[in-house]
């Protein structure tokens, strides 16, 4: 701990993509035994900085130093050799390989040039149990839900017994209990003298875990200081450059007696025999541990996976939609959690993404009207504060802005029911705030909003009502007055309401 | 039906009429093949009436010589009495054919021949002679000197190579005949037309076209016609389209043929051999010649043949017997 | 041979075999179809169960099995090759022109192997370093390689020593044993870091690169191995037929793709397994013999072939949906 | 209104066009034409270039459907068989009552469209991989050809087909007009209709498209039907140009169509590309083929030269991609 040189440092690095500067003269130093937070809005350049630190990309200017010595040509292999491990924001796991093979990827134990599966089993098993990954090591990672894959990614970093551990939004797809395991683990590693760099948009986590913070704004370092003596509001101020308001909006219920959706004896995927009524003007929260069937409920309602029900009514029509197009016609829209895979066409321009639901339902051979399309898209972009040229591919947008596109594209069709699957995953605070305001606005416009969220505070602060799902069944329904994080977690893990410590 | 105690090669064991004949086709879809199969089927019908054949087993290797090997193996496994074969490659089926021969099965190989002595008989026209006669006609037709194009069949195939080699002697003997360019294409109209068109533009003066088979000649005529170039002497094969264009454009031409009835003839030979007759190892079929003197006879029958097919000369058992006797 | 298997076995204990077992899971449908066809073949042609019968059948299957593997490796990396057929032809003509000469069988085999590895690696380098689409690079490659085969042997000919033909394509299942050895070697390769990385590099190249894998090296190696396998298929075809033919391989290009896709190898990289590709090639090969013994006419063969291929893919799909 | 900004946007657009893949491919074609004309004077003759464009129109038509299919994330390996079926069966579908021959053409196109539709249904509803489905379809069609080929004892002289294959209104081959017409339609559908957008969408991300309400199965089916249609049209044109259809007439067009699509910059993985690139791609292919034909060399060397030229020209027109 007493070394004066940081384990890993960037000195005055700059990077631009196609002439757009993303990082300008940024420095950062990672010391052993310290958890260092890297904060910034979506698109501030955090992931890019990490890519430079880990050799995944070369810097345009500036140097990377290991133990105080500049490294002329940094590469992932060189970083690995120096004990630097990265948990990427974009998962780097391979679906067709087993958990163990993923964990060991890039540094397998060998005997006679051949992977030593016995050794791999032992070492990968140890790394997996550190993060609470108890699935069989031979299971293909493709069979795991997103949150568990993230744990594989973390185990992969730990497997290398790193001196420097860099984590890019590791918690964004983790459930509360998984996140807790991770926090405890990081504390332990810190105690062992590992240098840790931690990126998250969840400020309470950062406040609890980190000792030092570096803040980026538009690619420029705006702060590099100890976290002691600063509160969450202070951090937000440094990130966005002005005073933050409250994260959650104040609202009064707009719930009416009219029912948007009624289902009885609904089964789809993991969901068994669910009964549910969704009223217009309400935000209905859906909670539970990850992977209990919450997503199947939304997809079943949306006609995207086959569902059975004994009785159903949607916006006055009997029966459930049997296909996505039918669901759209009935006024249901769905915003998926996994933006890149399910929500957007990232290689296509932002404008076509925004207009796709319109194209999906328009007469196939009617001529397009580019001028009108441009106006609609510009209107949406303005309303949702999506900045920049709409002809760029959606890839070029930061995560939060991508999420806004995924939401905005439904607006021209005035959906009566919005099914939202974790809409704030990986989104920065400012954008979160905007999205929260929109959600409540939708409800007060008389729409029904179904909000599936892994972020329990969202459920507590935004919802008129929350249903909790466990093992495919609705186990609890909490009204606004009864909502609290403890109550939701207790219902999720199946504890008696009084026994809140689960 | 007599005991097949080995007058002809390969045949062994207790092979009694009625026989099962296997027809190992390389590819049954092209029209030439379909016409050939027609002659085989007609022959089999006739032999069935005589109580000599009871079954024709047909395989189609879909153009793949490796599949043909597998199918011949299956014919051996099911112990047919004779195999009639157009080889997909002049080398590939050699071993499996030898295996069949060792098992006592009569092998009659026609059209595309296999480099193996372990067959009962090979039945074919002479490809070298084909090239030679075509070249001589053309050299003669252009008066012993001039610039010509040579249109070959696909590269890497024995038949097209043999025909081309056959033309060498005559061409060497006439140094005033200059070859402007050569092509290798499938024996089809479209690729020949494309190639000849490009060659016409690259070579303003052309006196004749030595086309060595299939429908290449038709493609060449279409190219000349479409680009408004004068017709020149062309050699060719008995493709109906070529013969019709020849007449229509008033050409001086020459064509020979690979008669489709080689199939019927081979079937006939197979049964003869199985019955104990002595069969020569190579049955050479003379090349029928079509020229301006007899083209009308062929065109008179055109309606009996597919539009994209080949107008072959008439045949019957008497002709077969005569050819066998002449060997 | 037991010497070759030892390292894989050492890598074996539980985890290795568990991983292998799970990879079988997806292929149940195809395996079932293949078993039905094998049973049908055995029933229609009892001679299949004799040693020569088995030997002959596996000899027909062998080259297709090799090219299916060659194609599958590339498709696992997210690539594809349209030059497989030309490589087979080249392997065949090299074998037929060298083996009977002073180089002998050993030298000829070495030349074939080197040509396969070298051309494969060169193709890989062009695809990887110049970032050109594999499908056009290999299409161009098929003309270049096919042209080279024609230069070496302008018409069918050449010779392969008799004893080699008798050994590989005689009445003993040597070809099958060689296939077993090749599969074992492939399993060993897959148990090396370079081999297993094919999956990572094919499915998620960026992720693989960031995990410290030298993706370029993995891809070029895969292309080299693919070239080697295709050229060896050519060597076998030459031995099987006793001589060389410069266009013998043409049909293998599409057949290798059909076998691989039938075996569940995806187009996008990283999906599927070699046992699937082998099962796919086996099905294609079995189909030909089974249809013969069922006495199908050519028209029926074409129709049945189409239906079997579609069915083998569609039926397992429906089973999974239930 | 504001002339300086509109001029700026014009230069921006112009530079975009100049650096676009279709333009680069087109420039490559012109370059090859220029070089070849200098080296072989006859090559650059108007008549020859006109013939090359006429030949390209057949590849261009086949590749139009292939472009749609590839953009939609699939591939059509049945194209060669469809072209053949079209050229071979048209004479069989002729009706004596119609002296123009139009009904036979329409009947043929309806038939090939239905064949394509069959591909689409298999891919969309049976979820058979496109390669497998279309390969199996090609196999079916071979069976069909055995039945119908050679069945036309009477060669039907269809005047409209003959006109399409041989006439040169205004000095330009009729086939080229057909190609231009189809190209305009294809570009319109691709870039100016919701259907086109849906096709790009399902190719780039089928799952996201489905969740956005794009009728995945219907769109997939339509795409293969279009491919059947354009292949059928190419067959009609080929029949006219050669005076006679025959089995195997379509064979060269399978790889040619794929090569034209990829040379034109369309991603073989789907979702990106345009027919505007495929068009010069088709021209490039026939140009290289013609170039190789006039070179005096053995078959082996010509084949090697052809492959090398494709590779080199791919480098030229594909440079944009490398820079990324
Ligand atoms: N490969 C790339 N090509 C082009 N632009 C890129 C690329 N990678 C990142 N960018 C751009 O660089 C900027 C910074 O991106 P980066 O991923 O570093 O942001 P971030 O701070 O990690 O954001 P988030 O919180 O959303 O993860 C963004 O505007 C992004 O669009
Ligand atoms: N990517 C997929 N993964 C799994 N199942 C799917 C997928 N796509 C479609 N399905 C299944 O296919 C069936 C039909 O889907 P759906 O009717 O929603 O398609 P669509 O795009 O609306 O088709 P159409 O063209 O008929 O309108 C559903 O039962 C659904 O479960
Ligand atoms: Mg990031
Ligand atoms: Mg993010």
Pairs of residues, one from chain B and one from chain D, whose beta carbons lie less than 8 Å apart? 115
Contacts of C191 in chain A (CB under 8 A): 114-115, 117
A17 ligand 1 Cβ < 6 A: yes
CA A399 to ligand 1: nearest atom: 26
Flag if A137 and C15 touch (Cβ within 8 Å): yes
Pairs of residues, one from chain A and one from chain D, whose beta carbons lie less than 8 Å apart? 86
Q: Which ligand is nearest to the CA of A48?
A: 1
> What is the Cβ-side half-sphere exposure of residue C214, based on CA atoms within 13 angstroms?
8
pLDDT category at B2 given cuts 50, 70, 90 is very low
Q: Please check whether residue D296 lies inside any domain of the structure.
A: yes
Q: Which ligand is nearest to the CA of A51?
A: 1
Mutate to test the pocket of ligand 1, among A10, A14, A17, A18 (most ligand atoms within 8 A of CB): A17
Residue nearest to atom 1 of ligand 1 (CA): A17
Q: Please check whether residue D15 lies inside any domain of the structure.
A: no
Contacts of B115 in chain C (CB under 8 A): 156-157, 243
A324 ligand 2 Cβ < 6 A: yes
Sheet holding A212-217, edge to edge: A84-87, A164-168, A195-199, A34-40, A212-217, A220-226
pLDDT category at C12 given cuts 50, 70, 90 is very low
DSSP 8-state secondary structure symbol assigned to residue D92: G
Whether the Cβ atoms of residue C142 and residue C247 lie closer than 8 Å to each other: no
Whether the Cβ atoms of residue D257 and residue D63 lie closer than 8 Å to each other: yes
Q: Which ligand is nearest to the CA of A88?
A: 3
Residue C288 touches partner B, C-beta closer than 8 Å: yes
ipTM associated with this complex: 0.88
Backbone angles phi and psi of B113, in degrees to 5: -95, 155
* Per-residue pLDDT tens digits for D58-99: 999 999 999 999 999 999 999 999 999 999 988 888 777 778
Residues of chain C above pLDDT 90, percent: 60
Q: Which helix (H) or strand (E) holds D225?
A: helix D216-242
Q: Do chains B and A touch (3 or more CB pairs under 8 A)?
A: no
Contacts of A361 in chain D (CB under 8 A): 213
Separation of alpha carbons D76 and D253, rounded Å: 11
Cα–chain center distance at B9: 23
Residue A185 touches partner C, C-beta closer than 8 Å: no
Residue C25 has pLDDT above 70, yes or no: no
Q: What is the pLDDT of residue A353?
A: 95
Separation of alpha carbons B269 and B173, rounded Å: 39
Task: State the best of A100, A106, A135, A142 to mutate against chain C, taking most chain C CBs within 10 Å.
Answer: A106
Mutate to test the pocket of ligand 1, among A18, A47, A432 (most ligand atoms within 8 A of CB): A47
Q: Please check whether residue D11 lies inside any domain of the structure.
A: no
Q: Please check whether residue D309 lies inside any domain of the structure.
A: yes
Across the interface, of D154, D156, D248, the residue whose CB is closest to B186 is D248
Q: Please check whether residue D247 lies inside any domain of the structure.
A: yes
Structure tokens, B174: 């006439």
A433 ligand 1 Cβ < 6 A: no
Backbone angles phi and psi of B66, in degrees to 5: -70, -40
* Per-residue pLDDT tens digits for D214-240: 999 999 999 999 999 999 999 999 999
Measured CA to CA in angstroms, residue D252 lies from A298, B55, D76, D149, D224 at distances of 50, 37, 14, 18, 20
Give the closest-approach CA distance of C316 to chain D in angstroms: 10
The whole-model pTM stands at 0.90
pLDDT category at B30 given cuts 50, 70, 90 is confident
Q: Which residues contact A402 (CB under 8 A, 6 or more apart)?
A: A339, A340, A343, A344, A346, A394
Structure tokens, B101: 């021969």
Structure tokens, D277: 């690139």
Q: Which helix (H) or strand (E) holds A433?
A: helix A429-444
Flag if D132 and C310 touch (Cβ within 8 Å): yes
Q: Do chains D and C touch (3 or more CB pairs under 8 A)?
A: yes
Q: Please give the tally of structural domains in chain D.
A: 1
Residue D155 has pLDDT above 70, yes or no: no
Mutate to test the pocket of ligand 1, among A46, A60, A199 (most ligand atoms within 8 A of CB): A46
A403 ligand 1 Cβ < 6 A: no
A329 ligand 2 Cβ < 6 A: no
Poorest-confidence range of A144-153, A358-367, D195-204, D302-311? A144-153
Q: What is the pLDDT of residue D296?
A: 83
- Please, what are the domains in chain A? 8-240 (3.40.50.300), 246-331+415-502 (3.40.50.300), 345-413 (no CATH)
Q: Provide the 3-class DSSP secondary structure of residue A87.
A: strand
CA A304–ligand 2 middle distance (angstroms): 7
Flag if D294 and B181 touch (Cβ within 8 Å): yes
Sheet holding B234-237, edge to edge: B177-184, B146-152, B208-211, B234-237, B253-256, B289-291
Whether the Cβ atoms of residue C296 and residue B77 lie closer than 8 Å to each other: no
Residue D217 touches partner B, C-beta closer than 8 Å: no
Closest among B127, B177, B125 to B149, alpha carbons compared? B177
Pairs of residues, one from chain C and one from chain D, whose beta carbons lie less than 8 Å apart? 134
Separation of alpha carbons D237 and D165, rounded Å: 6
When pLDDT is averaged across residues B288-301 and rounded to a whole number, the result is: 93
Give the closest-approach CA distance of D197 to chain B in angstroms: 37
CATH number at D107 reads 1.10.3470
Please state the domain extents for chain C. 57-321
Work out the mean pLDDT of chain D and round it to a whole number: 89
Residue C174 has pLDDT above 50, yes or no: yes
Q: Contact partners of D by the rule of 3+ C-beta pairs under 8 A?
A: A, B, C
Q: Which residues contact A455 (CB under 8 A, 6 or more apart)?
A: A202, A422, A424, A425
For residue D277, the enclosing domain spans 20-323
Q: Provide the 3-class DSSP secondary structure of residue A339.
A: helix
Q: Which residues contact C163 (CB under 8 A, 6 or more apart)?
A: none
Continuous H helices in A54-116: 76-81, 99-104
Structure tokens, A142: 């493709």
By the CB criterion, residues less than 5 angstroms from ion ligand 3 are: A 47, 89
Q: How many CB atoms lie within 10 A of CB B278?
A: 10
D154 ligand 2 Cβ < 6 A: no
CA A323–ligand 2 middle distance (angstroms): 7
Q: What is the pLDDT of residue A388?
A: 79
Sheet holding B282-284, edge to edge: B53-60, B19-25, B82-85, B106-110, B121-124, B282-284
Residue nearest to atom 31 of ligand 2 (CA): A305
Q: Please check whether residue D313 lies inside any domain of the structure.
A: yes
Q: What is the pLDDT of residue B25?
A: 94
Contacts of D266 in chain A (CB under 8 A): none
Per-residue pLDDT of chain A (502 residues; tens, 9 = 90+): 445 678 999 999 999 887 788 899 999 999 999 999 999 888 888 989 999 999 888 999 999 999 888 988 888 888 888 999 998 876 788 888 999 999 998 889 888 888 998 899 999 999 999 888 888 898 888 888 777 888 899 999 999 899 999 998 888 777 777 888 889 999 999 999 999 999 988 888 888 899 999 999 888 898 888 888 888 888 888 887 776 677 888 999 989 989 999 999 999 989 999 999 999 999 999 998 877 889 999 999 999 999 999 999 998 888 899 999 999 999 999 999 888 889 999 999 999 999 999 999 999 999 999 999 999 999 999 988 888 789 999 988 877 889 899 999 999 999 999 999 999 887 888 888 889 999 999 999 999 999 999 888 899 999 999 999 988 999 999 999 999 888 988 888 876 544 333 3
Q: What is the pLDDT of residue D295?
A: 85
Mutate to test the pocket of ligand 2, among D210, D214, D220 (most ligand atoms within 8 A of CB): D210
When pLDDT is averaged across residues B247-267 and rounded to a whole number, the result is: 94
D126 ligand 2 Cβ < 6 A: no
């Amino acid at each position: 701990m007493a070394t004066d040189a940081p384990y890993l440092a960037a000195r005055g690095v700059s990077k631009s993509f196609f002439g757009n500067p993303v990082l300008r003269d940024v420095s950062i130093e990672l010391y052993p035994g310290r958890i260092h937070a890297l904060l910034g809005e979506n698109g501030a350049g955090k992931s890019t900085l990490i890519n430079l630190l880990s050799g995944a990309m070369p810097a345009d200017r500036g140097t990377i130093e290991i133990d105080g010595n500049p490294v002329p040509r940094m590469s992932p292999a060189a970083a690995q050799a120096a004990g630097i491990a990265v948990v990427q924001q974009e998962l780097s796991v391979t679906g067709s390989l087993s958990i163990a093979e993923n964990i060991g990827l890039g540094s397998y134990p060998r005997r006679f040039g051949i992977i030593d599966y016995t050794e791999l089993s032992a070492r990968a098993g140890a790394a997996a149990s550190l993060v609470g990954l108890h699935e069989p090591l031979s299971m293909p990672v493709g069979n795991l839900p997103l949150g568990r894959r993230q744990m594989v990614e973390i185990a992969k970093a730990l497997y290398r017994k790193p001196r420097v551990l860099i984590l890019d939004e590791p918690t964004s797809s983790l459930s509360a209990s998984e996140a807790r395991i991770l926090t405890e683990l990081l504390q332990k590693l810190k105690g062992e003298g590992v240098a840790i760099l931690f990126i998250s948009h969840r400020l309470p986590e950062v406040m609890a875990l980190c000792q030092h913070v570096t803040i980026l704004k538009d690619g420029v370092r705006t702060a590099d200081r100890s976290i002691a003596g600063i509160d969450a509001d202070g951090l937000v101020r440094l990130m966005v450059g002005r005073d933050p308001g409250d994260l959650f909006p104040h609202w009064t219920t707009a719930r009416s007696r009219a029912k948007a959706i009624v289902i009885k004896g609904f089964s789809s995927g993991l969901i068994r025999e669910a009964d549910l009524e969704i009223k217009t003007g309400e935000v209905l929260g859906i909670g539970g541990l990850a992977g209990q069937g919450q997503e199947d409920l939304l997809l079943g309602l949306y006609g995207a996976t086959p569902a059975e029900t004994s009785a159903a009514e949607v916006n006055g029509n009997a029966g459930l939609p049997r296909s996505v197009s039918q669901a759209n016609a009935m006024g249901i829209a769905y915003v998926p959690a996994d933006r890149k895979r399910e929500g957007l066409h990232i290689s296509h321009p932002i404008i076509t993404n925004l207009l796709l639901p319109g194209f999906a339902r328009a007469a196939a051979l009617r001529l397009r009207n580019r001028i009108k399309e441009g106006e609609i898209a510009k209107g949406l972009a303005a309303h949702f504060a999506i900045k920049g040229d709409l002809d760029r591919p959606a890839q070029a947008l930061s995560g939060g802005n991508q999420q806004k596109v995924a939401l905005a594209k439904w607006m021209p069709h005035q959906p009566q029911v919005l099914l939202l699957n974790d809409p704030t995953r990986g989104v920065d605070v400012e954008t979160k705030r905007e999205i929260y305001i929109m959600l409540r606005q939708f409800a007060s416009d008389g729409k029904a909003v179904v909000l599936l969220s892994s972020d329990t505070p969202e459920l507590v602060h935004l919802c008129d009502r929350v249903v909790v799902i466990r093992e495919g069944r609705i186990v609890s329904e909490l009204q606004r007055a009864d909502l609290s994080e403890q109550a939701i977690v207790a219902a999720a893990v199946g504890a008696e309401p009084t026994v809140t410590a689960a | 039906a007599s005991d097949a105690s080995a007058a002809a090669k390969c045949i062994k064991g207790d092979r009694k009429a009625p026989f099962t004949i296997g027809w190992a086709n390389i590819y049954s879809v092209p029209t030439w093949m379909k016409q050939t199969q027609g002659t085989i089927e007609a022959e089999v019908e006739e032999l069935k009436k005589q109580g000599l054949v009871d079954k024709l087993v047909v395989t189609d290797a879909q153009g793949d010589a490796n599949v043909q090997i597998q199918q011949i193996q299956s014919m051996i496994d099911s112990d047919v009495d004779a195999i009639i074969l157009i080889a997909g490659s002049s080398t590939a089926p050699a071993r499996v054919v030898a295996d069949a021969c060792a098992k006592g099965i009569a092998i009659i190989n026609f059209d595309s021949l296999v480099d193996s002595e372990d067959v009962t008989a090979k039945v074919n026209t002479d490809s070298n002679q084909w090239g030679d006669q075509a070249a001589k006609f053309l050299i003669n037709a252009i008066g012993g000197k001039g610039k010509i194009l040579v249109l070959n069949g696909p590269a890497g195939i024995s038949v097209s190579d043999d025909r081309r080699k056959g033309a060498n002697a005559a061409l060497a003997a006439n140094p005033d005949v200059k070859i402007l360019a050569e092509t290798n294409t499938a024996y089809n109209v479209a690729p020949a037309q494309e190639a000849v068109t490009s060659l016409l533009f690259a070579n303003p003066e052309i006196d004749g076209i030595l086309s060595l088979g299939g429908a290449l000649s038709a493609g060449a005529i279409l190219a000349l016609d479409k680009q408004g170039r004068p017709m020149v002497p062309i050699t060719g094969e008995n493709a109906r389209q070529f013969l019709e264009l020849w007449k229509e454009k008033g050409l001086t031409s020459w064509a020979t043929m690979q008669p489709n009835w080689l199939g019927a003839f081979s079937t006939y030979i197979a049964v003869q051999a199985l019955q104990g007759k002595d069969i020569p190892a190579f049955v050479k079929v003379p090349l029928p010649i079509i020229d301006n003197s007899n083209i009308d006879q062929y065109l008179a029958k055109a309606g009996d043949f597919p539009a994209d097919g080949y107008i072959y000369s008439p045949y019957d058992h008497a002709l077969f017997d005569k050819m066998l006797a002449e060997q | 041979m037991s010497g070759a298997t030892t390292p894989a076995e050492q890598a074996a204990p539980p985890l290795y075999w568990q991983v292998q077992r799970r990879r079988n899971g997806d292929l149940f449908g195809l395996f079932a179809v293949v078993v039905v066809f094998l049973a049908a073949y055995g029933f229609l042609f009892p001679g299949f169960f004799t040693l020569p019968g088995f030997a002959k059948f596996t000899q027909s299957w062998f080259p297709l099995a090799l090219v299916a593997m060659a194609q599958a490796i590339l498709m696992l990396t997210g690539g594809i090759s349209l030059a497989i057929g030309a490589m087979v032809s080249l392997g065949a003509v090299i074998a037929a022109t060298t083996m009977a000469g002073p180089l002998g069988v050993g030298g000829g085999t070495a030349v074939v192997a080197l040509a396969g590895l070298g051309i494969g690696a060169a193709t890989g380098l062009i695809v990887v370093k110049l970032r050109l689409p594999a499908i056009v690079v290999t299409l161009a490659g098929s003309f270049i390689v096919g042209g080279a085969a024609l230069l070496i042997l302008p018409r069918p000919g050449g010779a392969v020593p008799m004893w080699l033909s008798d050994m590989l394509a005689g009445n003993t299942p040597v070809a099958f044993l060689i296939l077993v050895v090749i599969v074992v070697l492939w399993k060993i390769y897959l148990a090396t870091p370079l081999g297993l990385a094919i999956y990572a590099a094919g499915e998620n190249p960026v992720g693989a690169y960031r995990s410290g894998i030298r993706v370029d090296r993995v891809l070029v190696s895969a292309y080299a191995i693919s070239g080697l396998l295709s050229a060896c298929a050519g060597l076998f075809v030459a031995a099987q037929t006793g001589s060389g033919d410069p266009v013998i391989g043409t049909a293998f290009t599409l057949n290798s793709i059909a076998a691989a896709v039938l075996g569940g190898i995806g187009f996008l990289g990283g999906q599927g397994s070699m046992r699937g590709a082998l099962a796919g090639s086996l099905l294609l090969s079995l189909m030909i013999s089974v249809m013969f013994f069922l006495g199908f006419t050519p028209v029926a063969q074409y129709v049945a072939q189409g239906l079997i291929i579609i069915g083998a893919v569609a039926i397992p799909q429906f089973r999974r949906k239930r | 209104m504001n002339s300086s900004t509109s001029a700026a946007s014009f230069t921006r657009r112009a530079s975009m066009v100049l650096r676009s893949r279709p333009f680069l491919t087109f420039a490559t074609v012109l370059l090859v034409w220029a070089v070849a004309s200098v080296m072989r004077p006859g090559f650059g003759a108007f008549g020859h270039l006109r013939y090359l464009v006429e030949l390209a129109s057949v590849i261009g038509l086949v590749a139009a459907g292939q472009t749609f299919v590839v953009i939609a994330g699939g591939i059509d390996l049945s194209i060669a068989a469809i072209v053949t079926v079209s050229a071979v069966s048209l004479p069989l579908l002729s009706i004596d009552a119609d002296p123009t021959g139009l009904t036979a053409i329409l009947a043929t196109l309806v038939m090939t469209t239905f064949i394509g539709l069959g591909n689409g249904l298999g891919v969309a509803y049976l979820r058979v991989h496109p390669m497998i489905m279309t390969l199996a379809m090609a196999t079916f069609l071979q069976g069909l050809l055995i039945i119908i080929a050679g069945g036309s004892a009477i060669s039907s002289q269809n005047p409209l087909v003959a006109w399409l294959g041989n006439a040169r209104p205004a000095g330009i081959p009729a086939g080229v007009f057909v190609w231009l017409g189809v190209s305009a339609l294809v570009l319109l559908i691709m870039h100016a209709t919701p259907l086109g957008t849906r096709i790009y969408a399902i190719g780039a991300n089928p799952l996201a498209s489905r969740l956005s309400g794009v009728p995945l199965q219907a769109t997939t089916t339509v795409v293969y039907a279009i491919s059947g249609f354009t292949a059928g049209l190419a067959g009609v044109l080929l029949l006219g140009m050669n005076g006679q259809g025959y089995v195997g007439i379509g064979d060269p067009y399978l790889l040619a169509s794929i090569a034209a699509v990829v040379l034109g910059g369309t991603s073989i993985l789907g979702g990106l590309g345009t027919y505007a690139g495929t068009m010069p791609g088709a021209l490039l292919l026939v140009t290289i083929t013609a170039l190789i034909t006039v070179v005096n060399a053995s078959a082996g060397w010509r084949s090697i030269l052809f492959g090398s030229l494709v590779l080199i020209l791919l480098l030229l027109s594909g440079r944009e991609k490398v820079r990324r």
